Each structure stands twice: as structure tokens, then as C-alpha cells.
Structure 1
């Protein structure tokens, strides 16, 4: 019922590591925490002219369970980040989570990466279509 959050900066990205179940019980507190992380990052980040990254990475490697409330929290963080001008990437090797996000069509907005190195790469094929990249 309890989820832990640890946040740090890595290669121009704000990385939020979560541990515990991302479920209906954790959703209210996590919504508040991610809202604060997105707002703080929006105030601190200084994107360059060719910036395609520098957003929020949510590391779910230590999250064994995500329910629909948890997905809602992640989508809420994505919407807030988009409004602030950056994206959200997810780190997870959970086949179940990857399948769920794919089936729901959410990998276009919440790209899933197998590790922090690929998630914090400055560019990638999952860059949002409206970012002006070619």
C-alpha cells in the first residue's frame, strides 16, 4: 500500500524512481509528488535550441504492480509535463506493463525503455511528433 519515491537529475533529465505498488492506495500521494516534480523541473530546466529531451523519467523497475489508478497517475504526469513543454519516459522491464501500455496505445505518449541509459538519451525514435524533429 505504500510507495517510495526518490528523485535526482541525470544527464539533463529529472529521474523519479518509484518502489512499491502503484495502485489506488498510492495514487493520491503519488499524484501530488509527481505534480511537484514536474512543476519543479519545469521551473529549473533550461532547454537548448536543439533540445529533444530534458523531461521526466519515471523509473518503475522496483514497482511490481500497476493498476488503472497508477496508469492514470502516469498519464496525469504526462499531461502536466506536456503543458510545461517536455515529455515523460518510463523505465521498466516488466513485460506485463509493456503489454498493457501497448494495448492501450499509451507507448506513443509514455515510451518504455529498458534502462536509465536509453531513457535519458538525448534523442530517440519516440520523440513526440510535434517537437519539430525530422
Structure 2
């Protein structure tokens, strides 16, 4: 069994920064998925997911990101990923999710999505 997932949510002006603290896998993603889908239901919201502490993910995590992207864009919002570790960045590239979801591989963002 995978370690339970940890994450923090910080709201800014229309943008929410979500910092994930563990690997994202099919058997631990549900609390994060629920939180992200809840955020995505707010019309026009921007969601920034910080992956700097996520060393690895599986297809369940990729599916989660697609679900959140579809939901948030349907409500006029956006999803952006920042700081993926090399293995996760490679997975996003190989699966072409980096063409669907904007990814910033070298970002230091605050809750409003502004570079520090």
C-alpha cells in the first residue's frame, strides 16, 4: 500500500496553489482528486499544482490531472503544474500531458501564481 497523500491548499485572488507532498498513485489519490475537483467547480478559478515534492506518479495520477483539467476548463478556469521532479516531468512529456496542461519546470510561485 502507498503512503497516504499529503497536500496543502493556499487560496489567492482567483488562483489556488496546491502543494502535493507525496507520490501520487491510484491507491492514494482520492483525497487530492476530491479537493481538486471541488476547486475546479468554482467558475473561473485558476489551480496551480506544485509537484516539487512528488518523486513519482502512476497512470491514476495522470487520469486525475486530466479529470481536473477537463472540469476546470469547462467552468472557465485553468490548471497549471509547476516544479515537477525529473521523473514526473518525463512521464508528463512521454504521455503528452505537457501539451494539454501548461507546465512550468522552474517556478517559484505564490498563491496568486506570481513568480517570486
Task: Give me the TM-score of the superposition, normalised by structure 2.
Answer: 0.81
**Structure 1 residue matching 2:109: 3-state secondary structure:** helix
Question: Any gaps of 5 or more consecutive residues in structure 2?
Answer: none
Q: Are positions 1:77 and 2:68 aligned together?
A: yes
CA distance in 1, matches of 2:32, 2:13: 24
Q: Are positions 1:117 and 2:97 aligned together?
A: no
Residues 116 and 21 of structure 1, relative CA distance in 2, 3 Å threshold? same
Q: Larger Rg: 1 or 2?
A: 1
Aligned length: 111
CA distance in 1, matches of 2:90, 2:13: 28
**Counterpart in the other structure of 1:21:** 23
Instruction: Note the aligned Cα RMSD (angstroms).
Output: 2.3
CA distance in 2, matches of 1:64, 1:102: 15
CA distance in 2, matches of 1:99, 1:72: 16
**Structure 1 residue matching 2:32: 3-state secondary structure:** helix
